Every structure is written in structure tokens, then in C-alpha cells.
Amino acid sequence: MKDDPRNDLYLLYAEFLEEYEPEYFVFENVPGLLSATNEKGDSYLNLMQNLFRKYGYETEFKTLNAKDYGVPQNRRRVILVGKKGTSTNFYPELNKCASDVPVKEILSDLPFITAGGGTAWPSLIDSKAEQWLYDVEIRNDEMPVTLHQARYNRKEDLEIYRIAVDLWNKKKVRLQYNELPEQLQTHENKSTFLNRFNVVAGDLPYSHTIVAHIAMDGHYYIHPDIKQNRSLTPREAARLQTFPDDYYFESHNGGPRRTPAYRQIGNAVPVLLAQRIAEKLKENW
């Protein structure tokens, strides 16, 4: 983490605070922030808090799991809240409200597609949806969805996907790479990253964490429906981050493209968690 150029992004964040002087701000990072240090051994968290204090803000933080606040995803992140002035004990008390809707129901109304299928362009959905999708304002029947388009996969990978989904759906066991048939073990590394093929648990009310690496390959995000036999589309990943279906992810050329969309989705704060925090801050304003 010490060599990651993103470590100094908080310096740019402070410039925004200086320019706009908000009453509150919210800053999100991975749990590793709590122990991360620079090359001098200084705590990044302390450096951040001292810098924000220099710009007139006290800060408080907690580690929150998005699944405790209605997001269908197991996602632990450090959420730091800053308040202008010198007051303390202002961190918003969020009411826990975990969803009980299975992930497969959150995805089931999207068009059935297999590997390489679907479209990145806007299309309307006319299938019946789980009521929860309307309650949290993800689904809107009047607006089209974009980027429900699956990756193409090698036939060997699709065979692994079938094995992984079958093993999870029938036995609730995760596939270990070194347990695959020999002809499917094409990676030289057979001692680490044995869970590189991972199924999104359709029967649970939350998935594992959606991260930006989903832009590189979909092996860690295999769709739970064995008949579709593919990895998640950007739109499905966006739903697990609670983005509205009509949210459009920009690309460099302006058109809908999977890779930049996956990266933006994986890096984002879940919309529903951000909303819960903002609502509480507004109450305390």
C-alpha cells in the first residue's frame, strides 16, 4: 500500500474542502487505512485527520458494513465524517436495516442472457420485479437500463463456472482451483488464490464485495443461475451497489462500455449507504 499513488488523494480532497467549505463531509476508504503507514512510518489516518483539522474540520470514523444498512453486499469500509468547527461526538447514528431479499431475486427480472449476450445500449424491461427494487428506487419501469451485457468466455472457463455454481448451489461449498479436473487447471500457480473462481451466492441476502478488479475478469463474480453460465454484467454489479437502473456510467468516448463501468461500480460507495448517511447528517444539521 505504501507505493500506491492513490495514497495521496486525500491532499486533493482537502483542496475541495478549502474551496467549498461544506458543513459536513464524508470520506470512504478500505479497512486497511486503519493500519496503513507511509515510508516514514506515519499513520495515513493521522495524517488525514491532522490535515483536515488544519482546514477547519474535526473528524470521526467507524468501520461500517454496507449489508447492515440495506445494501445487498458484504462490504466493510471505513467511513470518516468531518464537521466544520471543533465539536465532537457528531458521528451519525445509523439505524441498522439489513435486507432479507435473496440476491437471485434482486437479479431475476433482468433479461436472461448467456456469456457474450445482452446489450450495452438502453433497453426497457417488461418482466415482473421484486418489490424491494421499487422500494429502494433501483427499478423504474419508465426508464431503460444500460450495460446488461455479459463478457465472452473461453469454453474452459465456462466449464469451470458450471462446476463452481453446481458445487455452491448443491452443497454450499466454494470451488478450490486445485480440486478442478487436471485438464482445466491451466494456471501454473496452484498453491495460492485457490478461490479465484467464486460464485455470487444467490440464496443469501448479500453478495461478496464488489471491487474494481471486476473490470479485469469476471471469474470472482459468477452468476448464481447455472443456466445463464456467465459472470455478472455491469448492470447486475450496479444493482448490488444499489445504483438505480437508469444510472449511466460514462466512458472516455461517451458510449456505454463494460470495462470503465465495472471499474466505476467497484470503486463506488453503495448508493443506499451514502443515502442513509446523508439523511442522518441532514437531520443533525
In this predicted structure, what is the pLDDT of residue 208? Answer: 98
Q: How many domains does the chain have?
A: 2
Alpha helix segments (H runs only) across the chain: 9-20, 44-54, 103-107, 131-135, 155-171, 234-240, 258-267, 271-284
**166 and 144 share a domain?**
yes
Per-residue pLDDT of the chain (285 residues; tens, 9 = 90+): 556 667 788 999 999 999 999 999 999 999 999 999 999 999 999 999 999 999 999 999 999 999 999 999 999 999 999 999 999 999 999 999 999 999 999 999 999 999 999 999 999 998 999 999 999 999 999 999 999 999 999 999 999 999 999 999 999 999 999 999 999 998 888 778 889 999 999 999 999 999 999 999 899 999 999 999 999 999 999 999 999 999 999 888 777 889 999 999 999 999 999 999 999 999 988
Q: How far is CA 35 from the centre of its chain?
A: 22
In this predicted structure, what is the pLDDT of residue 5? Answer: 63
pTM metric for this prediction: 0.94
Rounded Cα distance, 63 and 94, in Å: 12
In this predicted structure, what is the pLDDT of residue 251? Answer: 84
**103 and 69 share a domain?**
no
In this predicted structure, what is the pLDDT of residue 3? Answer: 63
**60 and 146 share a domain?**
no
Domain's final residue, options 97, 122, 154: 97
Domain's final residue, options 75, 97, 119: 97
User: Which CATH number goes with the domain that contains 263?
Assistant: 3.90.120
The full DSSP string for 24-74 is EEEEEE-GGGGT-B-TT--BHHHHHHHHHHHTTEEEEEEEEEGGGGT-SB-
In this predicted structure, what is the pLDDT of residue 191? Answer: 79
Identify the domain containing residue 117 by its residue range: 99-273
In this predicted structure, what is the pLDDT of residue 8? Answer: 84
User: Which CATH number goes with the domain that contains 75?
Assistant: 3.40.50.150
**93 and 112 share a domain?**
no
**111 and 126 share a domain?**
yes
Residue type, 125: I
